[in-house]
Amino acid sequence: MDRLTTILTGPSANAYFSQQPLEFDGSVELEAVLRYIVLKHHHGDISTLQLIKPHAQVVRGADGNPFISQTNDCDLFIGTAARQDEALPTIFAEGWVALDSKPYPVNQYLGTAEETKVYVNNELKKSIIFVRKITLRWVRLLCSTLFRVFPWFYPTNPEGEELQIYKSFGAVHRSSSKVDFDLIASIINDACQGIDFANLATIKLLTDYNKTYIKNRIKNLEGNEESLISDVREYEERIDGCLQTLDKIRQELYCWKSAPESKANEIVNFFQSRRHLRINEVTASGSGAIDFGIVETLEYYDENIIDNVLENASYFEDFPFAQKVCDYIFRRHKGVFVVESKFTLKGLSALTPVRCERHCINDPEAMPHPHLCYYGCLGGNKAYIDNYLMSGDWQSAIDQAVAATKNINFSDTTVMGRFIEDIEDFAFSRKCILLDDGRRMTPDEFVNYIERSQDEENE
């Protein structure tokens, strides 16, 4: 493993914690260790866990005291020098201790990668780091000495698995050594056993949505009721239309007021029961919206035309590798593509696909659904979805959106052209193919695996 991939920094954990890693090389590794520290030393229910919040920005000037206020909104402030010829800031404020001398000369240790000044405040439980430039080697050295940067977590030196993590990152201090990411990932993932971040994120997001949305919706509807009653009295010529709208609003208001908890539980239970649905964002203002992703496998297509498509379709002419992949998957059924789509459910009455190009946030290894992500096209599924929504059956509408995500239309040459390009572009980078035994492979790994298996059968 040449990069650190853990449950603690996966999409579900990020959604639950509502916090993404910082955007610099190695930031995911740093975030993984920071979350591991608090998880390892946390006692009590996971819902009470408080993360170490990092923040990074460019700094100017030699006086470091003004940057202390930055720790009001974070626990670890990392300031990078704006200019290479400027001295790093220095903090003289009371309570802030520089880690620049024995027994913990952290500055000198990190300085082997980049010039660094580290300050800790044990009373506030905050840390500030000034560094000449953030590099991957410097980040990994920082990861190896975080028990010094956050001494309040470690009244004694780390032991056992924690010590193994720090020692593994510390290997980069020796230029010939590499970080053992497999070991680190194993330790961190073991600490996450029994924690279902996807379910926790769903409950958290939808619970917050229910609390805020229902309250706001009742308030808005009550305001609309008063306004419409006034309009009826003032404009008799509009009385028929206003009364009809009033009746609809009163019906919805009665629904929310009479049993708001049952409606809230209905939403939570539905999304919990559909594990391929991933909540991305909820908006309680206005009409209310739930943005969610669908991670599914491409299984619905016209098998009657697959032979003709693979042998004659123009979009395969310059892409023999993609043609081979599609042959193994759609004709020989050696695996399935994992795809992702995104939708927005507004007010439980409108469901629309979100055009999101190639970036998949719920399963970064998945393929973007060619119809939905690039063109927002539902095909024949749109009529079914609209009919379900008109009758108030939003659950069936979402299930129909899932069906659309599992479908691909080989007759749409424009869409298929994008799909073929993605197979070629992601041949080595995305494990977007799922085998029957549960393994995920890149298109290149998949083709090599099938051909190797065929050679072994022929021997």
Residue 263 is predicted with a pLDDT of 64
CA distances from 245 to 218, 258, 392 (A): 16, 20, 17
Q: Name the band, by pLDDT with cuts 50, 70 and 90, for residue 18.
A: confident
Of 241-245, 299-303, 394-398, 453-457, which gets the smallest average pLDDT? 241-245
Give the single-character DSSP code of 21. P
pLDDT tens, 315-347? 888 899 999 999 999 999 999 999 999 999 987
The stretch 409-430 carries a mean pLDDT of: 93
Q: Which residue has the higher pLDDT, 222 or 121?
A: 121
Of 28-37, 168-177, 275-284, 386-395, which gets the smallest average pLDDT? 168-177
Q: Name the band, by pLDDT with cuts 50, 70 and 90, for residue 255.
A: very low
Separation of first and last alpha carbons in the chain: 32
Residue 218 is predicted with a pLDDT of 82
Q: At what angle do helices 136-144 and 160-170 cross, to 10 degrees?
A: 150
CA distances from 36 to 13, 107, 156 (A): 12, 23, 17
In the structure encoding, which two tokens stand for residue 35, read together?
A: 């979350």
Q: Which residue has the higher pLDDT, 131 or 223?
A: 131
The stretch 351-376 carries a mean pLDDT of: 90
Torsion of CA 225, 228, 234, 236, to 10 degrees: -120
pLDDT tens, 357-367? 788 888 999 99
Rounded to whole angstroms, how far apart are CA atoms 339 and 403? 12
pLDDT at 262 over 70: no
Residue 259 is predicted with a pLDDT of 43
Residue 368 is predicted with a pLDDT of 95
| Phi-psi domain of 18 (left: phi exceeds 0; alpha: psi -120 through 50; beta: other) | left
pTM listed for this prediction? 0.48
CA 417 to centroid of chain Cα atoms: 28
In the structure encoding, which two tokens stand for residue 95, read together?
A: 């309570």
pLDDT at 6 over 50: yes
In the structure encoding, which two tokens stand for residue 443, read together?
A: 């298109």
Radius of gyration of the chain (CA): 28
Percentage of the chain exceeding pLDDT 90: 56
Residue 245 neighbours by CB under 8 Å, 6+ apart: 228
3-state secondary structure of 381: helix
Domain ranges of the chain: 7-195, 196-273, 274-458
pLDDT tens, 136-148? 999 999 999 999 9
Give the single-character DSSP code of 438. S
pLDDT at 260 over 60: no
The stretch 76-103 carries a mean pLDDT of: 92
Residue 172 is predicted with a pLDDT of 84
Cα-based angle 452, 457, 459 (whole degrees, multiple of 5): 95
Contact 130, 116 (CB under 8 A): yes
